[in-house]
Amino acid sequence: MKTLFVLRHAKSSWEDDVASDHDRQLNERGKKNAAAMNIFMGKHGMSPQTVLCSTARRTVDTLAYFVSTIGDDVPVFYDESLYLASAPSMLERIQMVDDAAESVLLVAHNPGIEELACDLAKTGNSSDLVRMQTKYPTGALAVLEFDVETWKEVDFGKGRLLHFICPRDL
């Protein structure tokens, strides 16, 4: 059994006209929401054994709020290819994860992150599936489970959505 935590970065700022998209930082709401999502994951025992994170500042800054939940002994892979990646590209990266990890946290961007979660989830809580397919806001987290032995077996339509949590739910 493999578990994938699919986290869209928290709300970022558009106020700095000089910063490139890659360098945009979190705004105050994003910081508050990332902290709240970290608390939620901790309370519910959601602790990934590996992390895949885009190199964009807003994803790296979002992940920084999760250190208390994931711990500093969990391997974190900052991957430039995850920056604005498509769902198939993200899936390829997930399929390369070491099988010793039973759970992975992916921190990335829309539209790819939403497409990935929606394309992976075949079954699950019907109201959460509809909410996720309708809108995947910044800071939202999908928790998917796969009845597989290896990450290479994770594929579109094979996941079961356990939870879809948005910052406004907390």
pLDDT tens digits, the chain, 170 residues: what are they? 999 999 988 777 766 665 676 777 877 888 898 889 899 998 999 989 999 999 988 889 889 888 878 888 899 999 999 998 999 999 999 999 999 999 999 999 899 999 999 999 989 988 999 999 999 998 999 999 999 999 999 999 999 999 999 999 98
Residue in the block written with tokens 């602790």: 47
Three-state SS annotation for 3-63: EEEEEECCCECCCCCCCCHHHCCECHHHHHHHHHHHHHHHHCCCCCCEEEEECCHHHHHHH
Assess contact for 10 and 66: CB atoms under 8 A. Answer: no
Question: Which pTM was predicted?
Answer: 0.92
How does pLDDT run across 28-67, given as a tens digit for each residue? 888 898 889 899 998 999 989 999 999 988 889 889 888 8
> CA-CA distances (angstroms) from residue 77 to 17, 19, 58, 80, 167?
29, 24, 15, 10, 25
The burial class, CB within 10 Å (0-12 / 13-18 / 19+), for 16 is exposed
C-beta neighbour count of 114 within 10 angstroms:
20
Task: Give all domains of the chain, ordered by start, each with its CATH number.
Answer: 2-169 (3.40.50.1240)
